Chain A
Amino acid sequence: MPSDSELIPDELAIRVSGVWIRYKTSYERNPTLRNAFIKFGKREGRRRQVRIVEAVKNVSLDVPHGTVLGLVGANGAGKSTLMRAMAGILPPTEGRIVVNGRVSTLLALGIGFNPMLSGRENVVLGGLAAGLTVEQVEAKFDEIAAFADLGDFIDMPMRTYSAGMYGRLGFAVSVNMDPDILLIDEALSTGDAAFREKSTNKMRELVSEARTIVIVSHAMGLITELCNHAAWLHKGELIQTGAPADIVEAYMKFLNVGQSAVTLEDV
């Protein structure tokens, strides 16, 4: 077992080394016993209808503490997959990811385990799953509720929430979990202008405390404004890293679109 400093130098928050992520997708939506039984013996059953998807191809990336890294790339570039791997949700097929610090995730699906439960119960469950104690979650709860600003809805079942309310609560939870590393996937697009300003300010605050943030977004304005480093992924490969302005420019040129109001602001 290598020592901690061999795994990851002190100044790094995340080290992604030579990571490949492949998975099988099946044409069959949900595998069932019934289908397995029916197909058994049939020739087409033997020739499994699967396709290997290479979501991330040989990506290496070092993220020092205090970095706000923006990940850009077209749909299907592997951004979300890479984020899930950093969070420890998807294991890499090859390579290694070392994370130094407590990770809080705000991924595309947001929080909400059970839509029948209230916002409050979902927050508590999420916190407990993240490894906090009941006391710690309760201590943070008022802060979270105040930040999300949902009023009475916090005690209503989450199925009654609008998309914006989902997003606000999700953001409030992930930034208030006292994370060392915050992974945000496309989650700032919900919420109104006022909430967006509040969330941007909160992220600045986290950066000033040398927390590390990784943001996946299609809002180029947000990337250039908030990030101090950017990486561009395309079809699973890391194309370029560098200053956000340069990366955004290269990426825009590649996509063959100008820097219009539409690309700066996600719609």
Chain B
Amino acid sequence: MTATPAAAARKPPRDFQDRIQVFAPHRASLPPMRPYLREFWRRRRFAYELSRTTQKADHTDTVLGAVWVVLNPMLLGVVYFLLVAVIGGSKGSWVANLGRILVGLFTWFFAANSMGLGAQSVTSGGRLILNQAFPRALLPLSSTISAALMFLPSIPVYVVFYLIGSNLDHSATALPGISWALLWYPLLLVVMALECFGLSMVFATMSVYFRDTNKFLSYLLRIWLYLSPVLYALDKFKYHQWALYANPLAPVIGSITELWTKAVAPSPSLLIASVAWAVGLFIFGGWFFVSRERDFAVRL
């Protein structure tokens, strides 16, 4: 049936090139990736603004808000320090122990927040998803950006702790001073962010199909924390190397804590494992999410 109103005989107002969109059926397969990635990149600012304004709504954009965001892992760091170092009676200087737990926890919270916020990103974005067409992967990206924005204020806090700590304690197991090894830090953070984005996409998709994913995630995250080199040093894995490499977050978190507490550059095997897990999870998460995202509007 063709509509032929008289007023419609006019020609299109502007140049319509490159604006033709085709919506056709799919079977859990990927949409054409080139236009998808182009649109995704074009709207990256949306992901940033979304996380910035959401944080503002949660009042974490103020100085005290940022203090609160840092205070939470710091207090938890003290709790774990008491648990592990004092009650468990671990060896070495207490400054170094607390320092290791703090840097481990700060890094861990980057991943945990990214997964937790990511799990809610699609299910809480229902209104926008039902009303507008855009690459949905921007929503978990926004969660990872939020997690990164919450993580960044902990870096200066840690640097201060590190400088004071290395001056307080001069024993052999003390925190090292500023070393060249720290040049690896930015690279490891990029690897970490990529992995966080991948995990965020995985849990965002899961929560669409299982709305209580978040509840289950809180147990998973706690178990995962104890399996990762956060509360203990990397040498715990000496006799169980497989447990280190089988854990997606262990190589990268382990590398970061070694960097700060021992001033050693990541070993090639740790570095390869970190990058491999990050790239792997990013690709898997991307495929898992993007191949299902056109289903989201129906399921929300």
Contacts and interface: CB of A to CB of B under 8 A. Distances in A.
B277 to A, nearest CB: 25
B10 A105 contact: no
A85 B4 CA distance: 22
A145 interface: no
Interface string A152-175: 000001000000000000000000
B212 to A, nearest CB: 4
Nearest to B131: A107
Give 5 nearest A-B pairs by CB, closest first. A128-B46, A88-B133, A64-B8, A116-B57, A228-B5
A48 B6 CA distance: 51
B134 interface: yes
B95 to A, nearest CB: 41
B5 A64 contact: yes
Interface in B44-79: 45-46, 49-50, 53-54, 56-57
B192 to A, nearest CB: 26
Interface residues of A, number: 74
A67 interface: yes
A65 B13 contact: yes
A28 to B, nearest CB: 10
A66 interface: yes
B1 A89 contact: no
A129 B132 contact: yes
Counting chain A CB atoms within 10 Å of each CB, which of B42, B53, B209, B216 scores highest? Answer: B53
A97 B132 contact: no
B3 interface: yes
B211 interface: yes
A188 B43 CA distance: 29
Contacts of A90: 297-298
Interface string B114-138: 0000000000010111111110001
B10 A114 contact: no
Contacts of A157: 57
A183 B138 CA distance: 23
A161 to B, nearest CB: 14
Interface in A58-98: 60-67, 69, 84-98
Interface residues of B, number: 54
A84 B17 CA distance: 23
A89 B130 contact: yes
Given A24-B298, A89-B297, A130-B132, 15 more contacts: A31-B209, A32-B211, A33-B216, A62-B1, A63-B3, A65-B11, A66-B5, A66-B7, A67-B5, A105-B131, A117-B54, A121-B53, A129-B46, A229-B3, A229-B8
A47 interface: no
B53 A100 contact: no
A113 B297 contact: no
Interface in B241-297: 294, 297
B234 to A, nearest CB: 33
A110 B131 contact: yes
A24 B22 CA distance: 23
B89 interface: no
A7 B19 CA distance: 12
B210 interface: yes
A249 to B, nearest CB: 17
Counting chain A CB atoms within 10 Å of each CB, which of B3, B39, B57, B216 scores highest? Answer: B3
A207 B130 CA distance: 26
Contact of A88 (B21, B56, B212): B21
Contact of B7 (A8, A11, A131, A207): A207
Contacts of B294: 91
A216 to B, nearest CB: 14
8 contacts: A10-B11, A33-B210, A64-B4, A100-B16, A105-B133, A107-B131, A113-B50, A131-B43
A32 B212 contact: yes
B160 interface: no
Counting chain A CB atoms within 10 Å of each CB, which of B10, B13, B129, B132 scores highest? Answer: B132
Nearest to A62: B2
A102 B39 CA distance: 13
A265 interface: no
Contacts of A109: 127, 130-131
A128 B53 contact: no
A207 B99 CA distance: 66
B130 A113 contact: no
Nearest to B52: A121
Contacts of B173: none
